[in-house]
């Protein structure tokens, strides 16, 4: 296994060294091929996602396929500009000179993907790596085996295999890959494995981007259009892989006085969305596997927790389905409130004043996303200024990931590094500083032996003084003969 991993990296290094991935034409060709793959094989992709997660075809289209295509199109449009060197002011000290920042590929990079958006979270970073001119290995999640197999079969039919490879496998294969030397590793998944990835990267001084999770809070104020807010909250939670999404709202915070109204509205929305028997709805993803199914059912097994269920709670172990479930005021020390849920349970936490929710959120680790539903500008300001999070949305949920002008990534325990849009290109690039001087503008003042006169001029030069520059260029201090 180690031999195979080494061989794969070796082949990619040779391709990269040969310069295959550098020309804009190559990068654009790969991106166009991916667009073609998404268009021609949409049914295969949708089928794989359905096999892995029972993902409704609307979600597959909206959240995976169309976003992948959009990422390619955005990169294709921006590529030439992104590849251009960026001129920057060089300043007085080195006059005359020109300075620029040149983007270059890091080299050979590894993308390790997750199981919940197995298509998007694989192809999106790969798109960035290609746009930036790297050779790339994709290791799709083995927990979404149909999508992993689909990549292994389809991708080679469309892209340049000498530079872009899919390696399937689970822990042993991933470990073997992590032992190799990469120029960057991009990992999406859990904090535990994120630590393992970073520790492996440390051995080779490899920079990493980690897209992890956390408990994304959603504050709901009483000053809202409640019905619209609940629709958005619901589709952001249960319409995103039935809560198995890193940016799905994990829990809700609202005031004690507003909670009954909120629960009421939420119940009505859920019934409208998923009907009276949600386990029969085709619009709900299933839980990915029995491991996670049992992990989730264990979270509500405790009587103290189960009695807080105000809606839902139905499960079907055979189908691995769990219905949207709302709980009110569960004890704060249970698993449901201390670990990332990643499933269809939505605890509602109540506070006395809505402002208290800020401290509550900050008592936990920094989440990937934080949400606030309110029309109150002061609360909005307070929220934005005082809640550290990867990204935030006010009056909606999850959409920010679709905006290619916003960087998508975590902070603290929710990760490091960001991507989407041009940020993907930057994620897989090295910004090389290039300074070009001529032979004019020789400032004798720089060189030893250091006399007092020289130092005066040198000080001025360093501080950007034009006068000092002129003196220096005129050859001061004049040498005594």
Size of the site for another protein (CB under 8 A): 105
Q: What's the closest the beta carbon of residue 218 comes to another protein, in angstroms?
A: 14
24 near another protein (CB under 8 A)? no
> Of residues 163, 216, 246, 427, which has the active-site annotation?
246
Residues 216-245 that bind another protein (CB under 8 A): 224-225, 228-229, 231, 234-235, 239
Among 140, 217, 367, 404, binds another protein (CB under 8 A): 404
392 near another protein (CB under 8 A)? yes
**In the complex with another protein, which residue's Cβ is closer, 161 or 455?**
455
Among 27, 41, 237, 454, binds another protein (CB under 8 A): 454
Among 14, 47, 51, 61, binds another protein (CB under 8 A): 61
Residues 424-453 that bind another protein (CB under 8 A): 430-439, 442, 446-450
**In the complex with another protein, which residue's Cβ is closer, 306 or 435?**
435
Residue 216 among the catalytic residues: no
Q: What's the closest the beta carbon of residue 103 comes to another protein, in angstroms?
A: 11
The span of 115-123, 126-134, 328-336, 386-394 binding another protein (CB under 8 A) equals 386-394
Among 202, 306, 332, 470, binds another protein (CB under 8 A): 202
The span of 111-119, 140-148, 287-295, 391-399 binding another protein (CB under 8 A) equals 391-399
Instruction: Please give, one letter per residue, the 3-state secondary structure of the chain.
Output: CHHHHHHHHHHHHHHHHCCCCCCHHHHHHHHHHHHHHHHHCHHHHHHHHHHHHCCCHHHHHHHHHHHHHHHHHHHHHHHHHHHCCEEECCCCCCCCEEEEEEEEECCEEEEECCCCCCCHHHHHHHHHHHHCCCEEEEECCCCCHHHHHHHHHHHHHHCCCCCEEECCCCHHHHHHHHHCCCCEEEEECCHHHHHHHHHHHHHCCCCEEEECCCCCEEEECCCCCHHHHHHHHHHHHCCCHHHCCCCCCCEEEEECCCHHHHHHHHHHHHHHHHCCCHHHCCCCCCCCCHHHHHHHHHHCCCHHHHCCEEECCCEECCCCEECCEEEECCCCCCHHHHCCCCCCEEEEEEECCCCHHHHHHHCCCCCCEEEEECCCHHHHHHHHHHCCCCEEEECCCCHHHHCCCCCECCCHHHEECCECCHHHHHHCEEEEEEEEECCCCCCHHHCCCCCHHHHHHHHHHHCCCHHHHHHHHCCCCCCCC
Among 1, 2, 7, 88, binds another protein (CB under 8 A): 88
The span of 113-121, 125-133, 135-143, 206-214 binding another protein (CB under 8 A) equals 206-214
Residue 211 among the catalytic residues: yes
Q: What's the closest the beta carbon of residue 304 comes to another protein, in angstroms?
A: 31
> Of residues 211, 216, 240, 340, which has the active-site annotation?
211
Q: What's the closest the beta carbon of residue 14 comes to another protein, in angstroms?
A: 13
């Amino acid at each position: 296994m180690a031999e195979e991993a080494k061989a794969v990296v070796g082949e990619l290094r040779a391709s990269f060294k040969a310069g295959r991935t550098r020309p804009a034409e190559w990068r654009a060709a790969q991106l166009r091929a991916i667009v073609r793959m998404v268009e021609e094989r949409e049914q295969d992709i949708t089928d794989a996602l359905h096999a892995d997660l029972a993902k409704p075809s609307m979600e597959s289209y909206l959240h995976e396929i169309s976003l992948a295509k959009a990422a390619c199109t955005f990169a294709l449009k921006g590529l030439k500009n992104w590849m251009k060197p960026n001129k920057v002011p060089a300043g007085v000290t080195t006059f005359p000179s020109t300075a620029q920042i040149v983007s270059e590929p890091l080299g050979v990079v590894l993308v390790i993907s997750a199981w919940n958006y197995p298509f998007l979270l694989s192809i999106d970073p790969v798109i960035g790596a290609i746009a930036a001119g790297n050779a790339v290995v994709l290791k799709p999640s083995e927990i979404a085996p149909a999508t992993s197999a689909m990549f292994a079969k389809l991708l080679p039919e469309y892209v340049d295999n000498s530079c872009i490879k899919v390696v399937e496998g689970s822990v042993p294969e991933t470990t073997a890959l992590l032992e190799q030397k990469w120029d960057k590793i991009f990992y999406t998944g859990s904090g535990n494995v994120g630590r393992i990835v970073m520790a492996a990267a440390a051995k080779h001084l490899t920079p990493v981007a980690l897209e992890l999770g956390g408990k994304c809070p959603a504050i709901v104020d009483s000053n809202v259009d409640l019905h619209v807010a609940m629709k958005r909250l619901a589709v952001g939670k249960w319409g995103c892989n039935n809560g198995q999404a890193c940016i799905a709202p994990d829990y809700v915070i609202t005031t004690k006085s507003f909670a009954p109204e909120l629960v009421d509205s939420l119940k009505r929305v859920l019934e409208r969305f998923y009907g009276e028997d949600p386990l029969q709805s085709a619009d709900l993803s299933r839980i990915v596997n029995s491991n996670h199914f049992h992990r989730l059912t264990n979270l509500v097994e405790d009587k103290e927790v189960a009695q807080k269920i105000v809606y839902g709670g139905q499960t079907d172990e055979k189908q691995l389905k769990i219905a949207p479930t709302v709980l009110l005021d569960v004890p704060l020390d249970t698993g449901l409130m201390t670990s990332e849920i990643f499933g269809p349970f939505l605890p509602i936490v109540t506070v006395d004043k809505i402002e208290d929710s800020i401290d509550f959120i900050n008592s936990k680790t920094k989440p990937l996303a934080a949400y606030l539903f309110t029309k109150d500008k002061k609360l909005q300001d307070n929220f934005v200024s005082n809640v550290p999070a990867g990204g935030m949305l006010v009056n909606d949920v999850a959409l920010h990931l679709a905006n290619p002008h916003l960087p998508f990534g975590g902070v603290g325990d929710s990760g490091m590094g960001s991507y989407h849009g041009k940020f993907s290109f930057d994620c897989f690039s090295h910004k090389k500083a290039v300074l070009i001087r001529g032979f004019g503008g020789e400032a004798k003042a720089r060189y030893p032996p250091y006399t007092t006169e020289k130092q005066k001029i040198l000080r001025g030069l360093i501080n950007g003084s034009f006068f000092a520059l002129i003196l220096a260029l005129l050859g001061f201090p004049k040498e005594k003969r």
